[in-house]
């Protein structure tokens, strides 16, 4: 639509592109002590995986990173998200890091179980429980 094209109208209401709300941020990251918590929000699927992947890859760069991925704010995720979780877990382990997973939605837990990921990713109900599972580091 160029600047000379009038907005589409439906009766008295008009639809303007600038009236469409901006897309919600899908990744929210914060620090909790020595841990980086990454909340995944909204719908995590093939159409949003690049944005989510960028957010997760940022936390895997530091050697020895302790990361907790929180799926509680996610409304939906598909196999692309599962692949991303496995890749993030593997990258962290390869760089002497660790990943915990928080997941409470029964449907999400079922998907993780059916994909055979609950044994490796070991989801728990809270960020605190995930942090408690992290390996303890020896002081240097």
| Alpha carbon separation from 67 to 35, 37, 93, 102, 106 (Å, rounded) | 6, 6, 11, 11, 23
Q: Is the pLDDT of residue 66 over 90?
A: yes
CATH topology of domain 25-133: Transcription Regulator spoIIAA (3.30.750)
pTM across the whole model: 0.80
Tens-place pLDDT, residues 92-140:
999 999 999 999 999 999 999 999 999 999 999 999 999 999 987 644 4
Q: Looking at residue 37, what DSSP letter applies?
A: E
The answer to whether the beta carbons of residues 121 and 84 sit under 8 Å apart is no
pLDDT confidence of residue 136: 77
């Amino acid at each position: 639509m160029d600047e000379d094209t009038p907005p589409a109208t439906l009766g008295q209401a008009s639809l303007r592109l600038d009236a469409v709300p901006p897309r919600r941020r899908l990744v929210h990251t914060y620090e909790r002590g020595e841990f980086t918590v990454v909340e995944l929000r909204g719908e995590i699927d093939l159409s949003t995986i690049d944005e989510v992947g960028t957010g997760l890859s940022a936390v895997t760069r530091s050697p020895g990173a302790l990361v907790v991925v929180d799926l509680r704010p996610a409304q939906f995720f598909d196999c692309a998200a599962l692949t991303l979780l496995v890749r993030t877990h593997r990258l962290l382990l390869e760089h002497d890091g660790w990943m915990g997973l928080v997941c409470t939605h029964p449907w999400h837990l079922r998907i993780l179980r059916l994909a055979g990921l609950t044994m490796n990713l070991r989801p728990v109900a809270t960020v605190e429980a995930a942090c408690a599972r992290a390996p303890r580091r020896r002081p240097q």
